Amino acid sequence: MTRKTKFILIGVGVLVMGGFVTLSVSKKRQPSVEVRLEKVERRDLLSVVTASGKIQPKRSVDVSSDITGRIVGLPVVEGQTVERGQVVVRIDPAQYQANVERAQAVLASSEANAAQARANRVQAERAYVRARDIRAQNQQLVSQEALEQAETQRQIAIANLDAAERGVDQARAALREAQDQLRKTTILAPMTGRVTRLAVEEGEVAVPGTFSRETGLLMTISDLSVIESRVQVDETDVVRVHLGDSVEVSIDAFPDTTFTGRVTKIGDSSIRGASGGSSGLTTSEQAVDFEVVITLDNPPRNVRPDLSATARIITDTRREVLSVPIIALTVREPEAAGDSARRARESAPAARQGATSSRDTSRARRNREVEGVFVVDTATMTARFHQVKVGIAGDEFFEVLSGLAGGETIVAGTYQAIRDLKSGAHVRAAREARAPGGSGGQDTTRRRSS
């Protein structure tokens, strides 16, 4: 072999080795995405609806006055326990006592008029009978005209007596009304409970609350033996709440204690004006909330109405079900999701794809999107999108109904990495472990990367 041939063979070998080295280096330098990885496992899940509201007694009564008058006695203080029938307010009775005396005098006068009318009727009756008998014996002694006049006087006397008796009834009714108003100058407790609000002071004028409840309010008496938490639940969550659901209630005034309770009432109509009419929102943009009443099992002894509270209503439970982190669930269009998802979408009616306006186009795009997770092939460290169907949402995990068998390694973060990740991309495990609660999941909202 000549020297020239040796140099040629050596050069070819160098080129081949250089090619292998270049290819190896290029593979090693192929970019990969740093992600958090997690196994698909079975867990116990709780579906929870969170809502805030106020602590209220089950029964409370606003005490107001039925008459107008100055308060001359207020024998109770706020926070005092009162018994049913106990005097709580006294109003100056002078005016109403005078009205009673006036009504009594009018009744006496009416009864006297009635007695006089009764005597006149008796006299007119006798005069008519006498004239009738005389004319029956001798028509020359009493004329027909005189008999008719006697009959008329008798009828007038009867009518006057009837009017006088009606006047007596009217006077008696006026007296009963005056006596009733006099009794109302002393206001009694309508129920046994605690005075949770005292809105007046002695010397102020009490007015009827016919036109304004706040103006006429004297005090509020509450029965604190049964305590409720009344919370506002969004329209998207209220359909998942049922009577009897167990609830965990946190009261801001008792930060170290959690109270248990049950859902005892669900509002059938929405709470009007919950979002505030001054915000400039139209009717379609305003939030729609429904009131849910929760009865506490063992409320604290020194609880007060209107304390702020937060309720976690447990609407559903799942035991040992496949689950994935909430942050791992994302949405992709069928083209990005893979052939299986694309074929499933292509089998849908073609009418769903005929949108012409921009709004219809965006709606059609949302209808085409599928939910799934990125499953990682640990041998090649490539992530591919797999369509899954999810069930209830827990605090951090979704229940998996179909699409995964368990044991797969999936991409579980970060949110930015999942949002930008493409099917078939190379990934590498992040050095730090996934922080507890890092899914950023919420009780009632499914966060999906997009």
Phi, psi torsion values for 142, nearest 5 degrees:
-130, 120
Is the pLDDT confidence value at 447 over 90? no
Residue 158 φ then ψ, to 5°: -65, -45
**Whether the predicted pLDDT of 280 surpasses 80:** no
Q: Is the pLDDT of residue 4 over 90?
A: no
Q: Which residue from 449, 441, 320, 312 is spatially nearest to 374, judged by alpha carbons?
A: 449
Q: Is residue 52 within 8 Å of residue 308, measured between CB atoms?
A: yes
| CA distances from residue 365 to 54, 334, 335, 368 in whole angstroms, order as listed | 42, 10, 12, 5
Please state which CATH number belongs to domain 33-44+319-429: 2.40.420.20
What is the per-residue pLDDT across 53-66, written as a single tens digit (0 to 9) for each?
999 999 999 999 99
Is there a cis peptide before residue 414, judged by omega within 30 degrees of 0?
yes
For CA atoms 271, 272, 277, 282, the dihedral sign is: positive
Give Cα separations from 143 to 17, 152, 450 (angstroms).
Answer: 160, 15, 116
What are the domain boundaries of the chain? 33-44+319-429, 51-57+227-317, 93-183
The CATH T-level fold of domain 51-57+227-317 is Elongation Factor Tu (Ef-tu); domain 3 (2.40.30)
Q: DSSP E strands: which ranges in 128-257? A: 186-188, 193-198, 205-206, 217-234, 246-251
CB 306 within 8 A of CB 230: no
Q: Which residues of 405-418 are buried (b: 16+ CB within 10 A; e: fewer)?
A: eeebbbbbbbeebb
Rounded to two decimals, the pTM is 0.64
pLDDT, tens digit, 9 for 90 and up, residues 205-260:
999 977 677 888 999 999 998 999 999 999 989 999 999 999 999 999 999 899 99
pLDDT in tens, 174-217: 999 999 999 999 999 999 999 999 999 999 999 997 767 788 89
AA identity, residue 249: V
Asked if domains 33-44+319-429 and 51-57+227-317 share a fold, the reply is no
Over the chain, what is the mean pLDDT?
83
CA distance 93 to 118: 37
* Angle in degrees, CA 17, 20, 24, rounded to 5: 140
Tokens standing for residue 85: 């029938």
